[in-house]
Chain A
Amino acid sequence: MKYWIRRTVSIWATVLCIVLWQLMCVVLSIEPFILPSPILVYHSLVQYHEPIMIHAMQTLFTTLVGFAIAVAFGLLLGLAIGVERAVYDGLYPMMIAFNSIPKVAIVPLLVIWFGIGTVPAILTAFLISFFPIVVNVATGLATIEPELQDVLRSLGARKRQIVMRVGIPRSMPYFFASLKVAITLAFIGSVVSESIASNAGIGYLMIAASARFDVALVFAGFVVISVMGVIMYEVTAYAERKFTFWATRANDIVT
């Protein structure tokens, strides 16, 4: 019983917050213009469910495409950096510089290159999310024990064999852990890019709603964003548990 309460505590907290919010709006009779009550937000969700659905699908699409590119690119770059010292040396200063630029700052450049719309959103999602994947994959490769390398090298293993047999599996837990961060970042990137330079997507919907002072719809957008974010996070977390089940247990290895 206690276990279930602990497992579901965040759900209960959310429910409690919503109830308190509703009570507050009613008791203090707050203007819907300042803070709409949950019921008003719900009505807005129902009323605008069709456009919300279309814009949410657009955001989902840009997020997933950007994320997919980030995964492929991040994995390759991470492996290259982790395996080849020269690549690491060459890219490291650039990565540091790149990481200190807020990715939103690149959006105007993307708009100049590709025009307003889907492509800048996809590219923002990609640019904002590939970095943690690269870092984690490279870190994972660096965790091969030197003793194990000795064992393999004394057997005449070539670098490629060590990377394939040990390095890549070893870095998989790091890779999957980074996916959780990356999907969230990709989602943020899409939404932000849509807010600045798009005519579709949840980010655009919210900005448009705020221009019409439709507070309830802005909040509805908020709800949709939160739900989508949680679902995407949970899917990647599930993939992590599924594919690298051994990693959480491997910490118990006596060393």
Chain B
Amino acid sequence: MTADTPFIKLDRVSLTYQSRDSSTHALDETDMTISTGEFIAVVGPSGCGKSSLLKLVSGLHPATSGNVVVAGQKVTGPLKISGMAFQNATLLPWRTTLDNVLLPLQIVEPHASRFRKHRDQYEAMAMELLKLVGLDGFETKYPWELSGGMQQRSSLCRALIHEPQMLLLDEPFGALDAFTREELWGVLQKLWMTRKPTVILVTHDLREAVYLSDTVYVMSARPGRIISKTNVALPRPRTLRDTFKPEFIEMAQNLRLQISEGMGV
């Protein structure tokens, strides 16, 4: 794929949820272009349709109008090339950490049909990922024996185990305390730099957005639309120390102002 063909392209995409007696206009005429291996963040006020964006890109929900194109194909259903993680780690309590990470391989093809035969090989893959996020030694623990941060690390591993080309994150660190959250920024950055998936991160945390992404999109209040796009040109790997630098702080503050304007304040 050449540099000019975008990996994800949204072309005047609108989304309206229709229920029995009400309709919600979640996204309005949104355009977006994300290149292969890019890490983008989407920020905006609550309920502005950020999560809807992920549902559209993953193919879980069809657009009401407009086109969503991923990897050169129009999205019409689940793509099977994406990994997802949410604020809630949603690990299965009856499986060990290792088995939780392996879950996608038991579902997605071609792994599912080969899983039984090549279990050792897959377990090695999972162990490698767990090591990368600092969870080696915890693979036989159950989720309820892990801390919130560790659960979220396993959740990231589960999202990446089938080597997806695209990683969709919906406020993955939203429920963690500030210190754990910042520690996990580093973990996620490391994962991204080793695996290079295209990432869409939905977050409320502007420092998180600036720390992690190449591009930050700001969305307006409902119906959501993109109101600005900021390139974060800070060198990688970024460290916690970078977050105290003036250019970092200035960028975060600018984003904050744009969000206020988007809310019509």
Contact = CB atoms under 8 A, between A and B. Distances in A.
A246 B142 contact: yes
Given A152-B107, A155-B108, A155-B162, A254 B60 contact: no
Interface residues of B, number: 38
23 contacts: A145-B88, A148-B90, A150-B55, A150-B84, A151-B90, A151-B104, A152-B107, A153-B78, A154-B58, A154-B84, A154-B168, A155-B78, A155-B80, A165-B106, A165-B107, A166-B92, A169-B92, A246-B144, A249-B144, A250-B94, A254-B148, A254-B175, A255-B175
Contacts of A151: 84-86, 90, 104, 158-159
A165 B90 contact: no
Given A156-B107, A250-B93, A147 B142 contact: no
Interface of A: 145, 147-148, 150-157, 161, 165-166, 169-170, 172, 244, 246-247, 249-250, 252-255
Q: Is the interface of A mostly helix, strand, loop or mixed?
A: helix
A162 B84 CA distance: 16
Residue from the set B88, B91, B168 with the largest chain A CB neighbour count within 10 Å: B88
Given A145-B90, A156-B80, A252 B108 contact: no
B90 A156 contact: no
Nearest to B143: A253
A165 B148 contact: no
B80 A253 contact: no
Interface in B80-130: 80, 82-86, 88-94, 103-104, 106-109
B78 A154 contact: yes
A246 to B, nearest CB: 5
Contacts of B106: 165
B88 A255 contact: yes
B73 to A, nearest CB: 14
Given A145-B88, A150-B60, A154-B84, A253 B144 contact: yes
Contacts of A155: 78, 80, 104, 107-108, 162
A169 B78 CA distance: 24
